[in-house]
Amino acid sequence: MVDLERETDIERLRQIALLQKSQLEHLIAIHAKKCAELDKLKRDGGGELQQSLALIEAARKEAAALGDAIEAAARAAAEAHADKTAGEPPEPKAARRGHGPTEQLRLDRVQLRCTLDDPDRACPDCGAGLVPMAGQFEASELIDVVDIKYVVTEVERQKYVCKCGSSVETAPGPERAVDGGRYSLRFAVKVAFDKYVSHLPLERQVRAMAHYGLDVTSQTLWDQCSAVTDLLTLTYDAIFARLRAGPVIGLDQTSWPDLEDKTLPPWQMWCFTAPGFVYHRICDDKSSATFKDLVGDYAGTIVCDAAATHIAGARGEERLKLAGCWAHVYRRFEEAGDDFPAAMIVRGWIQDIYGIDKRATSTEERAALRATESAAVLDKMRTWMHEQRVLATTSLGSAIRYTLKNWDRLTVFVRDPLVWLDNNRTERGLRGPVVGRRNHFGSKSARGTVVAATMYSLVESAKVAGIDPVGYLVEVATRAKRTPGAVLLPGDFKPAA
User: Residue 408's pLDDT is what?
Assistant: 96
Supply the CATH number for residue 285's domain: 3.30.420
Q: Are residues 362 and 406 both part of a single domain?
A: yes
| Structural domain contains residue 453 | yes
Task: Return the exposure string of 68-90: e unless at least 16 CB atoms fall within 10 Å of the residue's CB, then b.
Answer: eebeeeeeeeeeeeeeeeeeeee
Q: Are residues 310 and 440 both part of a single domain?
A: yes
| Structural domain contains residue 44 | no
| Structural domain contains residue 329 | yes
Q: Are residues 316 and 334 both part of a single domain?
A: no
| Structural domain contains residue 365 | yes
Q: Are residues 284 and 266 both part of a single domain?
A: yes
Number of domains in the chain: 2
DSSP states along 383-402 = HHHHH----TTSHHHHHHHH
Q: Are residues 446 and 362 both part of a single domain?
A: no
Q: Which of 422, 439, 464 is the last residue of a domain?
A: 422
Q: Are residues 418 and 430 both part of a single domain?
A: no
* Helix spans in 85-180 (H): none
What is the chain's length? 497
User: Residue 441's pLDDT is what?
Assistant: 85
Total-model pTM: 0.74
**Beta-carbon-side half-sphere exposure of residue 133 (alpha carbons within 13 Å):** 3
Q: Are residues 367 and 229 both part of a single domain?
A: no
Q: Torsion-angle region of residue 159: left (phi > 0), alpha (psi -120 to 50) or beta?
A: beta
pLDDT in tens, the chain (497 residues): 445 566 566 666 666 666 666 666 666 667 667 766 766 666 554 455 565 556 556 656 665 665 565 556 556 555 555 554 444 545 555 555 556 778 888 788 888 888 888 888 888 888 888 888 888 888 888 888 777 889 999 999 898 888 887 888 889 899 999 988 999 999 999 999 999 999 999 999 999 999 999 999 999 999 999 999 999 999 999 999 999 999 999 999 999 999 988 888 999 999 999 999 999 999 999 999 999 999 999 999 999 999 999 999 999 999 999 999 999 999 999 999 989 999 999 999 999 999 999 999 999 999 999 999 999 999 999 999 999 999 989 999 999 999 999 999 999 999 999 999 999 999 999 999 999 999 988 999 999 999 999 999 999 999 999 999 999 999 999 999 999 899 999 999 998 76
Q: Are residues 280 and 410 both part of a single domain?
A: no
Q: Which of 380, 407, 422 is the last residue of a domain?
A: 422
- What is the dihedral sign for C-alpha 187, 193, 198, 204? positive
Q: Are residues 431 and 315 both part of a single domain?
A: yes
| Structural domain contains residue 402 | yes
Task: Return the exposure string of 293-313: e unless at least 16 CB atoms fall within 10 Å of the residue's CB, then b.
Answer: ebbeebebbbbbbbeebbeeb
Structural domain harbouring 392: 325-422
| Structural domain contains residue 331 | yes
Strands 168-170 and 159-161: antiparallel
Q: Which of 407, 422, 437 is the last residue of a domain?
A: 422
| Structural domain contains residue 279 | yes
